[in-house]
């Protein structure tokens, strides 16, 4: 694969501009579920999914399904592919199902409720659920931003990514080189960011990557994508009323890192590297099981309450 990074994205804009414009049909979801992936990130997620043309996307995690929606829409436009999406919170899982059903994309998505670290090996080991080659072509990561969690997916899932497979990691504010070189950064990197950056730089012979945070600071990139409907940022330069944290973040809310695995797939079996499971008392386990049972009818009620609170004069 030759083109990668900003050049590839510009090319994808020229190829798929009318389809990017059609993403506006999802704008009605924005007030309830679309706060992240609000600007360039949203279009890039769609474009890269078109480009990768995956048979299977492994997503963790969807929350209310905004990212799932954009990937599912791209799969639909590719006329192939499906998503297995892992969500810890049963209420969010139910809302994701509702989101994709409302958008008539439910046939592209299967939502698995539980801790991805426990559920993934079960799904990977079950040919009836996996129904694909024993490899990951597109891995979408946006869950727990701790170092421990990053160690789990680097040890267990990165080895399953096929050659020329793509990994998307959200909430990566700085490029890995800057993190590893301990350059002064506007925001302290998360544990996940540090562990991922060290892994990529240590194995730089096996990966290529590009940072959305860097792309949107590049005037040449913005000028190239604007004629095609791109370059509309979450926090455009010149917007005056920014929260101090947002000012420090740059121009995209929680930007992502796109990683191309150029090296060969390391393993076709789940590596089973250990992790510290979530500790729940018996009472907490029972409460979790109850949430799972009631999620499909309780989730819409809870969302309506949340929206009422947000729109009430005191809210
Ligand atoms: C930042 S949100 C994802 C947002 C979503 N991608 C979007 O843009 O709308 C992180 C989600 O990860 C889920 N999560 C955290 N730890 C998890 C785990 N171990 N397994 C599965 N899901 C997890 C949380 O419940 C939450 O819904």
Task: Please identify, in words, the CATH class of the domain defined by 6-278.
Answer: alpha beta
What's the rounded Cα separation, in Å, for the pair 192 and 164?
Answer: 23
The pLDDT tens digits of the residues spanning 81-138 come to 999 999 999 999 999 999 999 999 999 999 999 999 999 999 999 999 999 999 999 9
Give the residue from 280, 28, 58 showing the smallest Cα distance to 161: 58
Structure tokens at 245: 């944290």
Confidence of residue 38 (pLDDT cuts 50, 70, 90): confident
Q: pTM above 0.85?
A: yes
- pLDDT for residue 259 is more than 90: yes
**Cα-based distances in Å from 6 to 234, 272, 300:** 18, 35, 39
- pLDDT of the residue at 249: 62
Roughly what angle, to the nearest 10 degrees, separates helices 147-156 and 116-124?
A: 10
- pLDDT of the residue at 238: 67
- pLDDT of the residue at 210: 95
Structure tokens at 196: 């991922």
The pLDDT tens digits of the residues spanning 149-160 come to 999 999 999 999
Among 163-172, 278-287, 304-313, the minimum mean pLDDT is found in 304-313
Task: For 122, list phi and psi in degrees, rounded to 5.
Answer: -65, -45
Among 32-36, 106-110, 282-286, the minimum mean pLDDT is found in 32-36
Concatenating the DSSP letter of every residue in 34-70 gives -SSS-SHHHHHHHHHHHHH--SEEEEE--TTTHHHHH
- pLDDT for residue 315 is more than 50: no
Q: How many A from CA of 1 to the centre of ligand 1?
A: 31
Residue recorded with tokens 């095609």: 228
DSSP, collapsed to helix, strand or coil, labels residue 113 as: strand
Structure tokens at 87: 């969500």
Structure tokens at 252: 């995209």
- pLDDT for residue 265 is more than 60: yes
Of 312 and 44, more confident: 44
Handedness of CA 129, 63, 115, 283 (dihedral sign): negative
The pLDDT tens digits of the residues spanning 152-202 come to 999 999 999 999 999 999 999 889 999 999 998 878 899 999 999 999 999
Q: How many A from CA of 113 to the centre of ligand 1?
A: 11
- pLDDT of the residue at 1: 65
- pLDDT of the residue at 310: 82
Q: Read off the DSSP letter of residue 217.
A: T
Instruction: Map out the domains of the chain as residue ranges.
Output: 6-278, 282-315
What's the rounded Cα separation, in Å, for the pair 87 and 106?
Answer: 16
Q: How many A from CA of 66 to the centre of ligand 1?
A: 12
How many other C-beta atoms can be found within 10 angstroms of the C-beta atom of residue 127?
A: 9
How many other C-beta atoms can be found within 10 angstroms of the C-beta atom of residue 218?
A: 11
Structure tokens at 112: 């698995």
Task: For 77, list phi and psi in degrees, rounded to 5.
Answer: -70, -25
The pLDDT tens digits of the residues spanning 198-240 come to 999 999 999 999 999 889 889 999 999 999 999 887 766 666 6
Q: How many A from CA of 60 to the centre of ligand 1?
A: 6
- pLDDT of the residue at 242: 62
Ligand 1 site, CB within 6 A: 36-37, 60-64, 66-67, 86-89, 92, 115-117, 142-144
DSSP, collapsed to helix, strand or coil, labels residue 286 as: helix
Task: Indicate the top mutation candidate among 35, 57, 143 to test ligand 1's pocket, ranked by most ligand atoms within 8 A of CB.
Answer: 143
Contacts within 8 Å (CB) and 24+ apart, 220-223: 221/6, 221/9, 221/10
- pLDDT of the residue at 247: 61
- pLDDT of the residue at 185: 87
């Amino acid at each position: 694969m030759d083109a990668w990074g900003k050049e590839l994205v510009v090319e994808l804009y020229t190829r798929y501009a009318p389809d990017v414009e059609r993403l506006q049909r999802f704008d009605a979801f924005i007030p309830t579920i679309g706060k992240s992936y609000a600007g360039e990130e949203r279009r890039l997620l769609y474009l890269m999914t078109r480009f990768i043309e995956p048979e299977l996307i492994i997503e963790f995690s969807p929350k209310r399904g905004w990212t799932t929606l954009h990937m599912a829409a791209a799969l639909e436009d590719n006329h192939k592919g499906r998503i297995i999406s892992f969500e810890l919170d049963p209420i969010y899982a139910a809302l994701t199902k509702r989101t994709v059903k409302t958008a008539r994309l439910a046939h592209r998505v299967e939502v698995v409720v539980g801790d991805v670290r426990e559920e993934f090996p079960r799904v990977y080991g079950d040919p009836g659920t996996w129904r694909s080659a024993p490899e990951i072509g597109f891995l979408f990561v946006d869950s727990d931003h701790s170092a421990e969690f990053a160690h789990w997916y680097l040890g267990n899932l990165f080895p399953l990514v096929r050659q020329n497979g793509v990994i998307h990691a959200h909430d990566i504010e700085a490029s890995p080189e800057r993190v590893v070189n301990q350059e002064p950064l506007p925001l302290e990197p998360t544990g996940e960011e540090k562990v991922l950056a060290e892994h990529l730089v240590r194995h730089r012979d096996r990966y290529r990557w590009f940072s959305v945070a860097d792309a949107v600071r590049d005037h040449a990139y913005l000028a190239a994508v604007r004629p095609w409907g791109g370059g509309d940022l979450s926090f455009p330069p010149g917007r005056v009323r920014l929260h101090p944290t947002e000012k420090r973040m740059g121009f995209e809310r929680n930007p992502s890192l796109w990683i191309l695995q150029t090296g060969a797939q390391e393993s076709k079996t789940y590596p089973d590297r250990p992790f510290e499971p979530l500790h729940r008392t018996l009472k907490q386990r029972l409460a979790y099981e109850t949430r799972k049972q009631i999620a499909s009818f309780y989730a819409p009620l809870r969302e309506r309450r949340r929206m009422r609170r947000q729109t009430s004069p005191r809210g």
